[in-house]
Amino acid sequence: MKTFNSAKNHNETENLDGGITASPYLSTSEAAEVIRHSPATLTTWRCRRSDGPPFLKIGPRKVLYPRAELIAWAAAHGLQTHTASRPAEG
């Protein structure tokens, strides 16, 4: 399904049929919320090139975390994610 990014929240993508889906990428603050650590911790892990979660560097300042890889990394490191603790909608 093709998507275009006109949703109000940059972390959401509006489908052509008008539905809203979550973006596959998270900002540093969004990723920090998901893994229940501070944005500063993620920054430290990136700078030290330690065993932090995978990320993409877009240009000199923009950093994004692939949502699926972040959740997989958290599970592999025994971390409970914020999204895993939410009750299912419906």
User: Shortest CA distance to 83 belongs to which of 26, 9, 15, 19?
Assistant: 26
User: Is residue 84's pLDDT more than 90?
Assistant: no
- Whether 76 is covered by a domain: the verdict is yes
Which structural domain, as residue segments, surrounds residue 72?
24-85
* Mean per-residue pLDDT over the chain, rounded: 79
Contacting residues for 50 by C-beta, under 8 A, at least 6 apart: 44
Number of domains in the chain: 1
Angle at alpha carbon of residue 34, lines to 77 and 48, rounded to 5°: 55
User: Is residue 65's pLDDT more than 60?
Assistant: yes
- Whether 35 is covered by a domain: the verdict is yes
Q: What mean pLDDT is predicted for residues 3-14? A: 48
Q: Give the residue carrying structure tokens 């998507």.
A: 3
Does the pTM exceed 0.75? no
- Whether 69 is covered by a domain: the verdict is yes
Helix, strand and coil percent figures for the chain, each rounded to 5: 35, 20, 45
- Whether 16 is covered by a domain: the verdict is no
CATH number at residue 54: 1.10.1660
- Whether 15 is covered by a domain: the verdict is no
The least confident of 54-58, 69-73, 85-89 is: 85-89
